């Protein structure tokens, strides 16, 4: 991790020390840029292809970018949160659904996939349960049949296509 240090020790850790071992020795790390470092990294987001009632759950976005367009439920990962925790949280906030993660669809890292800047998204596919209701950033939450999807924001059409392929390849 060139240009970064553990705030707790103020010195670089040897490369052979695993994160788990370092956390046991020093407690959870706070990764901080070193003084003078100009390193910039992409933002990290999550999306979920939620299968429910024979279709896929989409939300109509309440906010820019792509305000009013349909998209997969998702959002940004918070500091201290795993991508798995984030996608479950975002699904609950935007759709009211509880989701069971089935698998990883893929990691989408095209620097131009989001007009706000470079955002990398980790996309999961999941099974939803509960009552579908819109919330937080969603103007509407709705199940769409796979053969009748609306135009989608970002690269979510690719994510859904990849999820369908992944599900069809599962034993």
Alpha-carbon torsion (83, 163, 67, 116), positive or negative? positive
What global pTM score does this model have? 0.79
Do 22 and 53 reside in the same domain of the chain? no
Residue 38 lies in a domain: no
| Structure confidence by residue, pLDDT tens digits, 13-47 | 444 444 455 455 555 545 555 566 778 899 999 99
Do 74 and 96 reside in the same domain of the chain? yes
Do 48 and 27 reside in the same domain of the chain? no
Residue 134 lies in a domain: yes
| Structure confidence by residue, pLDDT tens digits, 54-110 | 999 999 999 999 999 999 999 999 999 999 999 999 999 999 999 999 999 999 999
- In the chain, the number of structural domains is 2
Give me the domain span that covers residue 73. 43-169
Q: Counting beta carbons within 10 angstroms of the beta carbon of residue 111, is it exposed (0 to 12), middle (13 to 18) or buried (19 or more)?
A: exposed
Do 19 and 74 reside in the same domain of the chain? no
Do 131 and 107 reside in the same domain of the chain? yes
Do 24 and 47 reside in the same domain of the chain? no
Q: No. of H helices and E strands in the chain? A: 3, 9
**What DSSP designation does 146 have?**
T
Q: Which residues contact 123 (CB under 8 A, 6 or more apart)?
A: 46, 47, 48, 49, 72, 74, 104, 105, 106, 107, 108, 159, 162, 163
pLDDT of residue 2: 38
């Amino acid at each position: 991790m060139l240009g970064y240090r553990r705030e707790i020790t103020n010195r670089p850790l040897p490369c052979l020390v695993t994160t788990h071992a370092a956390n046991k020795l020093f407690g959870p790390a706070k990764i901080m840029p070193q003084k003078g470092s100009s390193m910039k990294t992409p933002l990290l987001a999550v999306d979920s292809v939620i299968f429910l009632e024979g279709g896929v759950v989409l939300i109509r976005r309440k906010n820019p970018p792509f305000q009013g367009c349909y998209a997969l439920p998702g959002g940004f990962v918070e500091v201290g949160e795993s991508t798995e925790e984030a996608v479950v949280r975002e699904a609950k906030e935007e759709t009211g659904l509880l989701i069971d993660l089935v698998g990883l669809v893929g990691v989408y890292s095209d620097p131009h996939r989001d007009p706000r800047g470079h955002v990398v998204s980790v996309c999961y596919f999941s099974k939803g349960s509960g009552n579908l209701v819109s919330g937080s950033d969603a103007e509407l939450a709705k199940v769409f049949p796979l053969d009748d999807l609306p135009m989608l924001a970002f690269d979510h059409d690719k994510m859904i296509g990849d999820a369908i392929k992944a599900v069809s390849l599962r034993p």
